[in-house]
Structures are given as C-alpha cells and as structure tokens.
C-alpha cells in the first residue's frame, strides 16, 4: 500500500468528505473526473493548485475504501 498522506478528512471542510490536502476538492470529484474519461493532465489544468501526486493518492484512497468490508452489527434484545 502506498502512503496516503495527502487525503484529509475534516468535519469543517466539505462536510467531512475526504479531500485533497485540506482543500475543497474531494476525492469523489477526482475519481468522478477520471471515471468520466478525463486525463490527469486535464484534471491538473482544471485544478491548477493540484499536483499529479494528489490525483494518484485520490485514486489509491478510493481503491482502498472500495476494498473495505462493512459488517452489520447484530444486537440481542
């Protein structure tokens, strides 16, 4: 697993969604742009304050989250 040190989660920024370096650019925005067929170069042109490593880590974070397993909690009454 690569280091994911550029993804931040702050309840005061974008409602606590995972963001790039505390900015108001969410991981979901980046993943959505890639899924829509935009290249990294196009994304960096649209968001000039981002870096290539930001995009790479956003994708890595999304992949890591997709592999998580959520288990329901069962309570006995």
Please report, for the domain that includes residue 30, its CATH number.
1.10.10.10
The number of distinct structural domains making up the chain is 1
Predicted model pTM: 0.84
d(Cα 22, Cα 24) in Å, to the nearest integer?
7
Which residue has better confidence, 25 or 73? Answer: 25
Residue 43 corresponds to which tokens in the numbers above?
């994304």
Does some domain include residue 57? yes
Q: φ, ψ for residue 7 (rounded to 5)?
A: -100, 125
Does some domain include residue 26? yes
**Do residues 30 and 20 make contact, with C-beta atoms less than 8 angstroms apart?**
yes
Range of the domain at 29: 7-66
d(Cα 56, Cα 30) in Å, to the nearest integer?
10
Does some domain include residue 77? no
pLDDT in the model for residue 77 = 63
Does some domain include residue 73? no
Chain segment 21-33, per-residue pLDDT in tens: 999 999 999 999 9
Does some domain include residue 41? yes
The closest alpha carbon to 2, from 50, 56, 43, belongs to 56
Q: Provide mean pLDDT across the span 40-60.
A: 97
């Amino acid at each position: 697993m690569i280091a994911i040190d550029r993804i931040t989660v702050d309840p005061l920024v974008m409602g606590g969604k995972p963001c790039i370096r505390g900015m108001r650019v969410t991981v979901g925005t980046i993943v959505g742009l890639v899924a829509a067929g935009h290249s990294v170069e196009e994304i960096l042109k649209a968001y000039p304050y981002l870096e290539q490593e930001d995009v790479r880590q956003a994708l890595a974070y999304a992949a890591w989250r997709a592999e998580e397993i959520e288990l329901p909690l069962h309570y006995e009454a």
